[in-house]
């Protein structure tokens, strides 16, 4: 077991990749708190994890809710060893159709909340004299362009750059910060992005045509890469954006 006696806070753990991370971390011995705005699936995810998971409803882009949920999680778990910043909005809209408000909202959820949780978790780790690990979620879209997802691209590029800077800033405190950069992975978020094209089935087909492997990633495959970054196996890995994308960015 790679995470025996570790305590992890996972934002976005109610669905998709975050949920796969929650399940894998518990299987690897961790106790976890899932912070998510999806109450129904968050409660179901926690209930399926045999008392080793707590669900706390929270909009990560609301700093008051975020702080309250993080404090509650840490007092329940006693400490925080690992923070996973997974929660995100995958709005699939092209540049000319994206409003300022939509752009700001995506940045608030994907980038500003990642900064906020990183800062607050780091303060707690430092106060507890308990160096830990932070894994952010960037994306292949931090490194390559596409016609849609304009705000999402901007937010994930920000997460990639933020991760490098945070890794340097928190290194003296013994805190390791990295990011996972998933490729196209079959989750509710991917389906939402396909729906934004106006036709979910056609949207999914068009995404599939871009996959060098001829298939999407599975949430469990991304969770394995997150586990690597969160575990001592990655003890010399700092500020990385680990691509797990089935070759999407190498062709």
Ligand X SMILES: NC(=O)c1ccc[n+]([C@@H]2O[C@H](COP(=O)([O-])OP(=O)(O)OC[C@H]3O[C@@H](n4cnc5c(N)ncnc54)[C@H](O)[C@@H]3O)[C@@H](O)[C@H]2O)c1
Residues forming the active site = 152
- What's the farthest any 2 CA atoms get from each other in the chain? 51
- Residue 143 per-residue DSSP state: T
Which CB sits closer to ligand X, 88 or 125?
A: 88
- Residue 230 Cβ vs ligand X, minimum distance, rounded to whole Å: 15
User: What six digits make up the tokens of 183?
Assistant: 């490729």
Tell the smallest beta-carbon distance from residue 129 to ligand X (Å).
Answer: 29
Facing residues of 185 across strands?
A: 217
Interface with ligand X, residue 158, by CB under 6 A:
no
Asked if residue 118 binds ligand X (CB under 6 A), the reply is no
Q: How many CA atoms lie within 13 A of 133 on its CB side?
A: 25
Q: Does 53 bind ligand X (CB under 6 A)?
A: no
Identified binder of ligand X from the candidate list 23, 36, 81, 120, rule CB under 6 A: 36
- DSSP-derived letter for residue 4 is T
Residue 139 lies near ligand X (rule: CB under 6 A): yes
Is residue 87 a contact point for ligand X (CB under 6 A)? yes
Residue in 211, 70, 88 with CA at minimum distance from that of residue 158: 88
Nearest approach, Cβ of residue 111 and ligand X (Å): 11
Q: Which of 132, 158, 182, 239 binds ligand X (CB under 6 A)?
A: 182
* Residue 15 engages ligand X in binding (rule: CB under 6 A): yes
Query: From the CB of 35, what's the least distance to ligand X, in Å?
Result: 7
DSSP assignment letter at 52? S
- Residue 229 in contact with ligand X, rule: CB under 6 A: no
Residue among 94, 82, 66, 68 nearest 31 (CA): 82
- The smaller minimum CB distance to ligand X, of residues 3 and 222, is found at 222
Residue 35: C-alpha distances to residues 53, 222, 226 (Å): 11, 19, 17
Q: According to CB under 6 A, which one of 158, 189, 239, 246 is a site residue for ligand X?
A: 189
137 lies in the site for ligand X, by CB under 6 A:
yes
Binding flag, residue 190, ligand X (CB under 6 A)? yes
* Among 8, 10, 17, 243, interactor with ligand X by CB under 6 A: 17
The least CB distance from residue 217 to ligand X, in Å, is 7
Burial degree of 243 (CB within 10 A; 0-12, 13-18, 19+): buried
Whether the Cβ atoms of residue 84 and residue 230 lie closer than 8 Å to each other: yes
Instruction: Please tell me whether residue 67 binds ligand X under the rule CB under 6 A.
Output: no
Helices (H), the chain: 16-27, 39-47, 63-77, 100-107, 113-127, 150-170, 188-195, 200-209, 219-230
- Contacts to ligand X by CB under 6 A: 12, 14-18, 36-38, 58-61, 86-90, 109, 137, 139, 182, 184-185, 187-190
């Amino acid at each position: 077991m790679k995470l025996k006696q570790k305590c992890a806070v996972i934002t976005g753990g109610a669905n998709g990749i975050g949920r796969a991370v929650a399940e894998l971390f518990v299987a690897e011995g961790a106790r976890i708190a899932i912070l998510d705005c999806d109450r129904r699936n968050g409660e179901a995810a926690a209930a399926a994890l045999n008392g080793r998971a707590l669900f706390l409803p929270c909009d990560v882009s609301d700093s008051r809710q975020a702080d309250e949920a993080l404090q509650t999680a840490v007092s329940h778990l006693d400490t925080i060893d690992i923070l996973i910043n997974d929660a995100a909005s995958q709005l699939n809209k092209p540049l000319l159709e994206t409003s300022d408000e939509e752009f700001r909202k995506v940045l608030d959820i994907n980038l500003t909340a990642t900064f906020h949780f990183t800062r607050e978790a780091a303060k707690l780790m430092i106060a507890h004299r308990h160096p830990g690990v932070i894994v952010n979620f960037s994306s292949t879209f931090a490194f390559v362009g596409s016609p849609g997802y304009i705000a999402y691209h901007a937010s994930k590029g920000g997460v990639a750059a933020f991760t490098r800077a945070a890794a340097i800033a928190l290194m003296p405190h013994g805190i390791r910060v990295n990011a996972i950069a998933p490729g196209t992975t079959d989750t509710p978020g991917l389906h939402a992005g396909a729906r934004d094209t106006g036709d979910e089935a056609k949207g999914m087909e068009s995404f599939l045509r871009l996959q060098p492997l001829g298939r999407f990633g599975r949430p469990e495959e991304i969770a394995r890469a997150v586990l690597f970054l969160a575990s001592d196996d990655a003890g010399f890995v700092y500020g990385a954006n680990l691509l797990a994308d089935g070759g999407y960015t190498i062709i």
